[in-house]
């Protein structure tokens, strides 16, 4: 008899996956691949890097599945892993920039690199979307992560606080600051 994985809870899927059922983890990925990708893409601003980081996030999640607490939201747990992957990526990127400053490799990389933010093909106003996305990418990581989790991913204040390891009041404060900086950068309310 075959289980209908779509009807199982995240905790049941995690248990089956730990027991060796690969299809159970595939169902977890099917449920959360898109929101995790959106979170990462909004954090790093590059679609190709976001695809790689999404894959790395799910690989790490699979390896750490035994530590998943079924009493906690799977989405929040995966989002925490994804945010950490984004932070690691940002640190590595800063180190690479520092090491290539002034060298010919840095000059070549600047000529080749495409710093534009990815824009959804179906966006009615691509220019405005690109401007807002660029403004989001320019926010400090703590403000950007809070803004993305609360507004783009529509997580609750409690879930966002849990993912970022801060208080709900800190989430509220960071969200207010992020919106104020975006408003100043884009000239829109």
Share of residues in the chain with pLDDT > 90 (%): 45
58 and 130 in a common domain: no
Q: Give per-residue burial for 98-122: e unless 16+ CB within 10 Å, then b.
A: eeeeeeeebeeeeeeeeeebbbeee
Of 45, 73, 90, the residue that ends a domain is: 90
CA-to-CA dists, residue 164 to 67, 86, 93, 140, angstroms:
18, 13, 21, 14
Domain count of the fold of the chain: 2
Please say whether the beta carbons of 149 and 163 come within 8 A. Answer: yes
Query: What is the Cα–Cα distance from 163 to 11, expressed in whole angstroms?
Result: 18
CA nearest to 78, candidates 42, 148, 23, 28: 28
Same domain, 3 and 71: yes
- Indicate whether 20 and 86 sit together in one domain: yes
CATH number of the domain where residue 65 is located = 1.10.1740.10
- Residue 10: domain span: 1-90
133-188 pLDDT, tens digit per residue, is 778 888 898 998 898 888 888 888 998 998 899 999 999 999 999 989 888 887 76
What's the CA gap between 29 and 65, in Å, rounded?
Answer: 13
pTM, two decimal places: 0.65
Is residue 187 in a domain? yes
Q: Tens digit of pLDDT for each residue in 4-37?
A: 888 999 999 999 999 999 999 999 999 999 999 9
């Amino acid at each position: 008899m075959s289980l209908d994985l779509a009807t199982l809870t995240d905790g049941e899927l995690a248990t089956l996956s730990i027991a060796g059922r690969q299809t159970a983890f595939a169902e977890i990925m099917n449920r959360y691949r898109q929101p995790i990708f959106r979170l990462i893409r909004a954090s790093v601003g590059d679609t190709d890097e976001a695809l790689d980081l999404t894959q790395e996030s799910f690989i790490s999640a699979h390896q750490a599945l035994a530590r998943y607490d079924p009493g906690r939201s799977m989405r929040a747990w995966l989002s925490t892993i994804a945010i950490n992957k984004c932070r690691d990526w940002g640190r590595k990127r800063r180190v690479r920039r520092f090491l290539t400053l002034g060298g010919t490799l840095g000059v070549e990389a600047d000529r080749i690199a495409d710093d534009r933010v990815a824009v959804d093909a179906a966006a009615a106003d691509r220019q405005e979307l690109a401007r807002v996305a660029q403004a989001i990418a320019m926010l400090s990581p703590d403000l950007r992560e809070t803004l993305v989790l609360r507004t783009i991913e529509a997580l609750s204040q409690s879930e966002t606080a849990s993912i970022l390891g801060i208080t709900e009041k800190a989430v509220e404060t960071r969200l207010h600051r992020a919106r104020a900086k975006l408003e100043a950068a884009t000239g829109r309310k």
